[in-house]
Structure formats: C-alpha cells, structure tokens
Structure 1
Amino acid sequence: MTSESTSPALDVDKLARYLQQHVPGFHGPVQATKFAGGQSNPTFLLDTPGGRYVLRRQPPGQLLKSAHAVDREFRVLSALGQTPVPVARAWHLCEDREVIGSMFYLMSYEEGRIFWNPALPEIDRDARRDYYASIVTTLAALHDVDVDAAGLSDYGRPGNYFQRQIELWTRQYRAAETEQIGPMEALIEWLPAHCPADTQRPSLVHGDFRIDNLIFTNDAPRVRAVLDWELSTLGNPLADLAYFCMCLRLPSTGDITGLRDQDRSTLGIPEEEEMVAQYCELRGLPGIANWNFYLAFSFFRLASIAQGVKARALQGNASNASALEVGGMVEPLASLAVELIA
C-alpha cells in the first residue's frame, strides 16, 4: 500500500492502549498516517515498534444504516483467510465506538505494489500479460470459494442478483438525477427487460474488482492481497468479471482511466476474449452467454455512481476536487453501454 498523507484524526495513545489489550504482540507507541484517496471508509497505516498494521474505520458522525459496514469487511477477510484467495490478515474488530469515535478493524499491512493505470506503464511489456493472468486467476479463486464452508452462506440476499442490482442503481440514479440523459433512460428500460435468469449457485462477489484494488508482490506478477471489500456480497460472479473487463473499454483519458482506443497488442495487454477464456477454463465453464448484458450493466452501475458524485459536487458535498469531472462521465459511460445493446 502506498500514497499516504499525515493525519491527526486518531487519538493514537488511546488507540494503542486498546490494541495492546486486544491484539497479541501489539505494543506502542503508534504513529498513524492516513492513506490518500477517496475511500469512503478512512484507512490508516499504523507504524509500531513491532511492525506495521492497517486500520480501517467508519467515518465519524451519522451514517446510513447499511453504509460503511466495516464489520462486514472484517467478516469476509476473516473467512477468506482460510482459502486460496489472497487477503490481508484480519486481526481485530472493535465495535466500541468510544475508542476512536467509530467502529474499526485492524488488519495486516501487506507490502507490495499498487497500479493505478491498467496499461501498467511501470511494468516491462513482456511481463504485463502475466500480471493480467494473475488477476484473472485471483478472481476465479474468489468465485470458487465454498461460501458454506467459509461460513458466508448468509452474506447476501436470495433472489436474482442482477434484478436487485438494476433496481438498486436505478433508485440511486433517480435520487441523484440532475437532468435527463437519453442513454441512461434507454438502459433503465432495456436492462430489466433483458436480465438473464440466475441459474447457478451464488458466489462471493467483490463488487469493486479493479486493478487499483489489488496489491501485487514487489518482485513477481502475483496478487498478494485483494483490497476494499466494502461492496462484497453473494451474487452472480459474472458481475465481477464484466466490471474488471470494463477497463478495456473505458477511455484512456479522464478521471476513470481505461484502455479504449489503445493498441493492446503493442502494450502487451491481453484482449477481452483471452481473459474471458482463461476465466472460463479455470472455473470449468463452457462459455458465457449474454456477455454484452453483463458489460452494459457494469457501465450503467458506474454511470449511476458517477451521477451520485456529480450531485454531491453540485451540492458542495463532494469529497475531492475531481468530483465534477467524474460527474461528467455519466453520459459517455451510458453511451458505451448503449453501444453494446444496440
């Protein structure tokens, strides 16, 4: 993990006393540094004489009932620690809001590299395909987790996953709507009418599986830890695969960076068909029907999220200076989805 900025937001002395009582081997003093970025759950690097840890907390103040559920994140990390899925070690969940002002959990610090650009400019061309192969292998391993054996059989709601998601993100979009956008209206009509039936057992779904939510080892194309489980649930695993593959179709400029119009062969990045084929082989799938639906839904969901960012920016409540730029992506994202269903 990288990109930290100093923050005085934690009472580190009180925190150190608490963790010394509840985490084996933990002892202060503690130096806390907030990770930069737009995480909805503030995340801190803790430096101690005995090593480094990561603390992830709910933001202080009043919260929506189901938002910022760091206890769910802790639960899924704890469960995955016994599986082949690479995650940080979950050390402790504190539900006592008196300690630092909100619920938080402590996990291991995983040394490694995070890449923000899917073109992987930091990596030699000949190695980039191996990095993508590692990503797909990690995703397949996640979706192969036996949720019953992992104690996660009640981690999501029953019923058609995509049907619920379409309803959710349509509501979210309507609540944040600032103007009528033709491509979004087309998607709101088309998606529920073409939603495939869920015919397979629900898998654990990450919900935000993209390259900058992965830590790679420093010296090899291997995923060391999957980060940010805030949106995880049980559902259709193809949502994660399509969401990740969306990076191949997103514009190469702007706040949300992708690989559209770039020569992926020259870059050494595999094509979508190759990644989908690798995923299907790893999971024993004959192929994927309705692939364009899953991609279109991914663009629709991201557009709805961007609309929420735009609405908050116009209200003066946005969390970073690029919020209006993100908000400007709503129509382009929806148009990319409409291209897939035309």
Structure 2
Amino acid sequence: MATIPELDPAEFGRWSRGNGIDIPDDVAVTRVGIGQSNLTYLLTAGDVRWVLRRPPVGNLLASAHDVVREARILSALADTPVPVPRIHGVCTDTAVAPAPLVVMEFVEAVALDNLPAAEALTVEQRRSVGKSMIDTLATIHEVDLEAVGLSDLASHKPYAARQLKRWSSQWEKSRTRDIPAVDDLTRRFLAHAPEQHETRLVHGDFHIRNVMIDPAAASVRAVLDWELSTLGDPLADIGSTLAYWPAPGGPQLSAVPVELLDGFPDRATLAADYIERTGRDPQALAYWHALGLWKVAIIAQGILKRVEDNASNRAAGGVPTTTVVDTLVEMAQSVAGEAGI
C-alpha cells in the first residue's frame, strides 16, 4: 500500500472493513491510466479488484479534483442509462489519508489509452466506438436532474459566463508566463456568448481516454473522470470533445493519439453526428468548440504547473509542452474567428 501517496495502510484496512469493502492488507497496488489529474490505482487481491481514486499531491486549485463530489455524481447515475462504475465507499477520515479517497467498482473493459488496444479493433469497430461515444454523450445530456437528485449540483445561471469566470481564475493561478491571446479570447467569448436554452448535466471532460470500451460490442462500457462535471449547456460538452480530439498535424494532448487511426471519426463527423442525434444548434456548437480549445489550453497549463510543483503528479501519458499550450490557444483563435467571435 506504500505506493499510494500519504496513505496509512493499517487505517485504510480498518476503514475498508468497517465499510463492508473488506480489502485485505496484502492487496497489490498498481497506478493505472495515463490521466493527468486525480490519481487512480488498481487494487488486486486474487481475482477480486477495486479501483481507488484520490486527488493529486500538493497544492491544488480551488474546486478542482473533488473526488467526493465525483462519487456523488457516479452514485446518482448508477441506475440510469449512463454507463458508470458503482461506488463502494468514500473515505474522508484524515487518519487514513489527508486527502479524500474513493473506492469504486473495477469495470471489465478496455481503455483506449494505448496503441495496441486501439489497433486490436477493426476499422468498423473503431467507427462504432466513435458513434457510441456520441450516443453516450447525448444520453448524459438526457439525464433527468430532478429524478437523480442532481438539480442542486451547480448553479443554473448562464454557463458561458460561469465557465469563463472559472477558467480565467484557473489560468491566473496556474500561469507561468504571459499569453495575451488567452485574455483576448476571454473578452471575445464574454461578448459573443450564445443564448442558453437548457440546463443539463455536462461531463466536462469527455474524450476517448475517459471512457472504457466493450470490444465485443464496440461500444462504451463506462464513462470515467467526472471531476469537472457540472450543470450547464450540453453543447459545451461536445465542444470540449472536439477540442480534445486530435487532427493530423495538430497538437497532441496524449502521447498516444489513437483517434487518428483509420475508422475513428474526425471532428466534423463527431459534430455532425451529435447535431443529428440531438437537433441542437450547430452555430452555437462552433462557439463552444472555440471555448473548449481555450479551456483545454488552460487545463494543459495547469498540468504543467502541478508537475512543476510536485513531480509525483507526472502521469504515464507525459506532460503537455508549452508548444502544445500555445498551439491550442492559436487554434481557439482560429475557430473563434471562423465562427465570427
């Protein structure tokens, strides 16, 4: 258990047994995923497995990396059509660890965060995975907030203004150099925010490395990493997906951009499929695509800062470079300009 930062193994065993999870003291621990945010570990005892999540080590930006809130969302979605792992327990006992811990179900599925896993799929299966991702995202946006008890998850005020306020603040806290274009884009986004017609559950970080796939069905088996989930304009979610989705010759936020393999849809296809599936406004989507690029640039800068502050936060997927941040900002400017923003 010593591989999980700041964890007291004996206290963790006491807590897990007291909560009916019964994780043995000699459980094997492996850091999993190539994620850059919350730390994720696979716990294995014989043929039984659990997943443990905790925030990164070190100084964190306010409101970021809230695994307790993430667990609340997953629990609320447990009996909906949205595919999510089940939560076994949430630990806030500081005798166990100074940061909260969440233990959840291990989902038997494949993460497409490495080239061999994606190459094992046929071209047709990759095409099916892309369609399933869009269908899954639309399903998230169909959740009845009142029915699942999430109507108070966040503000119902206009989402664009909330996002701009939040991510501008994150930029100020994580910046290590000046990029005037970031501030210029903030002003432009404020001035051209489209009218919001609905408030829905949004995932906030929906991309191919945050889903797990059932290879046999070539469909999404589980949606992971809900820490940025909130209530807002559903078009913001697909906008972020487009921002993360790589294009040939563009910036790569992942060391393994599997989305470029034959069969996976390109950005235009993803956008068209979502609009066809939901009937939402394509012009408003262009705004959210540009804002998504701006937001992802700020997220990338935050990753750089966290790793600079504490090297143990470095993930297997590597760390974005300053060039990636600059290129994302340039792309946001380009998409915003084309959309008349």
Pairwise TM-score range, normalised by the shorter structure: 0.7 to 0.9
Name the counterpart of 2:14.
17
Name the counterpart of 1:282.
277
Q: Once superposed, what is the RMSD of the aligned Cα atoms?
A: 3.2
Taking a change above 3 Å as real, the CA distance of residues 277 and 30 of structure 1, as seen in their structure-2 partners, is: same
Taking a change above 3 Å as real, the CA distance of residues 212 and 8 of structure 1, as seen in their structure-2 partners, is: closer
Using the TM superposition, give the Cα deviation of residue 28 of structure 1 relative to its aligned residue in structure 2, in angstroms: 5.6
Q: Distance in 2 between matches of 1:340 and 1:248?
A: 14
Decide whether the 8 Å contact of 2:9 with 2:96 is kept in 1. no
Q: Distance in 1 between matches of 2:259 and 2:211?
A: 24
- Is 2:126 aligned against 1:131? no
Q: Distance in 2 between matches of 1:126 and 1:224?
A: 18
Taking a change above 3 Å as real, the CA distance of residues 190 and 138 of structure 1, as seen in their structure-2 partners, is: same
Q: Secondary structure at the match of 2:43?
A: strand
Q: Distance in 1 between matches of 2:277 and 2:206?
A: 18
Q: Percent identity?
A: 35
Q: Distance in 2 between matches of 1:278 and 1:207?
A: 19
Of 155, 158, 164 in structure 1, the residue corresponding to residue 156 of structure 2 is: 158
Q: Distance in 1 between matches of 2:173 and 2:91?
A: 33
Decide whether the 8 Å contact of 2:275 with 2:281 is kept in 1. yes
Q: Distance in 2 between matches of 1:52 and 1:338?
A: 45
Name the counterpart of 2:239.
242
Q: Distance in 2 between matches of 1:312 and 1:62?
A: 8
Name the counterpart of 1:338.
333
Q: Distance in 2 between matches of 1:227 and 1:177?
A: 27
> Structure 1 stretch 109-118 or stretch 123-132: which is displaced more?
109-118
Using the TM superposition, give the Cα deviation of residue 102 of structure 1 relative to its aligned residue in structure 2, in angstroms: 2.7
Number of aligned residue pairs: give it.
332
Decide whether the 8 Å contact of 2:246 with 2:252 is kept in 1. no
> Structure 1 stretch 291-300 or stretch 5-14: which is displaced more?
5-14
- Is 2:304 aligned against 1:307? no
Name the counterpart of 2:109.
112
Decide whether the 8 Å contact of 2:293 with 2:331 is kept in 1. yes
- Structure 1, unaligned runs of 5 or more: none
Q: Secondary structure at the match of 2:270?
A: helix
Q: Deviations over 1:54-80 (max 9, x none)?
A: 111235666555333111011001001
Q: Distance in 2 between matches of 1:90 and 1:51?
A: 15
Taking a change above 3 Å as real, the CA distance of residues 38 and 304 of structure 1, as seen in their structure-2 partners, is: same
- Structure 2, unaligned runs of 5 or more: none
Decide whether the 8 Å contact of 2:83 with 2:223 is kept in 1. yes
- Is 2:75 aligned against 1:78? yes
> Structure 1 stretch 207-216 or stretch 167-176: which is displaced more?
167-176
Using the TM superposition, give the Cα deviation of residue 304 of structure 1 relative to its aligned residue in structure 2, in angstroms: 1.7
Q: Deviations over 1:293-334 (max 9, x none)?
A: 111101111112233344556x654543954x4222222111
Q: Distance in 2 between matches of 1:70 and 1:248?
A: 25
Q: Distance in 1 between matches of 2:26 and 2:99?
A: 21
Taking a change above 3 Å as real, the CA distance of residues 247 and 302 of structure 1, as seen in their structure-2 partners, is: closer
Decide whether the 8 Å contact of 2:43 with 2:52 is kept in 1. yes
Decide whether the 8 Å contact of 2:138 with 2:277 is kept in 1. yes
Q: Deviations over 1:130-182 (max 9, x none)?
A: 01011111111111000110000100112111111112222322344444435
> Structure 1 stretch 137-146 or stretch 24-33: which is displaced more?
24-33
